[in-house]
Amino acid sequence: MISVNSTQVLFFTLDIYFNTGALKYLYFVVIMFVYILIICANLLLIVVICMNRSLHEPMYMFLCSLFVNDLYGSTGLFPFLLVQILSDIHTVSVPCCFLQIFFLYSYVSVEFTNLAVMAYDRYVAICFPLQYNTWMTFNKVVMLIVVIWLPVCFAVCVTISLNASLQLCGNIINKVYCDNYSIMKLACSDTSVNNIYELVSFSFTVCVPVSVILYTYIRILKVCFSGSTQMRQKAVSTCSPHLASLLNFCFGLSFEAIQSRFNMDSVPNMLRIFLSLYCFTCPPLFNTVMYGLNTSKLPLKACI
């Protein structure tokens, strides 16, 4: 049971919100517009990939998984955020808080894993072009997509179950959404098991995918430097959107990590809110621009 001095906690209070008066309706419209834009852009590319048989290739199937995850993460945040903007009392029930943690944490982990699988796909395509179709079969693609999603969701479920058993000494979360680390900071009980599991989970869901990405791109660079100019151009056009997406996502995630681990009271609330939302707002839009508007990878081009 979650308790504060033997009193059950029924809700958490999100303390970073501030009174914006009539401006809250402007913020609501802006956030709603961004959310609709994310939905439309990602859905469009998903539909194009699914409807065009010529795009039923491993690269585009992994892209489709990436777009689905961007929709998934945005939906875990924006509807909740829109309700909070219009509300005068910024509270969230305990079950809804943990549900949002599941959405947001699984989104982040799936994004890293998906980008790692995409890096592996590019590695095979560039370094072993003759064996590509033999290695990247339909069954292997399906297996990789399952690996992208299922282990991550299981790991986040374990994290939530461990945190749900903690005894808490407060219910104030200094964020605009529920955050796993913020709940752990409220704990009265021992969090050693939680901390160890978080470290192990972080290693598998972040460190391992990033290591895979670094390894594959080192190998790709070695092949490119020893190959022809045409091969280098192909590698750059194929890999640059992927690297840009990875750097953009890591850039946003670093804001979130700094804000969770360090005292940010001296930073204006509006800036802190923007930095909190960057990881869940910019990558879903940025990915559609990089993969949807890059003429060398544009799925729409094949449908015209």
Starting at the earlier edge strand, list the strands of the sheet with 91-93: 91-93, 11-14, 172-173
Structure pTM? 0.87
Residue 280 sits in which domain range?
Answer: 3-303
Q: What digits encode the pLDDT tens for the residues 179-215?
A: 888 888 888 888 889 889 988 988 888 889 999 998 9
What counts of helices (H) and strands (E) characterise the chain?
10, 5
Q: What digits encode the pLDDT tens for the residues 244-274?
A: 888 888 888 887 777 777 766 677 777 778 8
CATH number of the domain where residue 91 is located = 1.20.1070.10
pLDDT at residue number 3: 42
> How many domains does the structure of the chain reveal?
1
Rounded mean pLDDT of the chain? 83
Q: How confident is the model at residue 6 (pLDDT cuts 50, 70, 90)?
A: very low
pLDDT at residue number 118: 92
According to DSSP, the residues that pair with 173 across neighbouring strands are 14
Ramachandran bin of 91, using left for φ above 0, alpha for ψ from -120 to 50, beta for the remaining angles: beta
Q: What digits encode the pLDDT tens for the residues 127-170?
A: 888 888 888 998 999 999 999 999 999 999 999 999 888 888 88
- Do 161 and 281 contact (CB within 8 A), yes or no? no
DSSP string, 98-114: HHHHHHHHHHHHHHHHH
pLDDT at residue number 290: 82
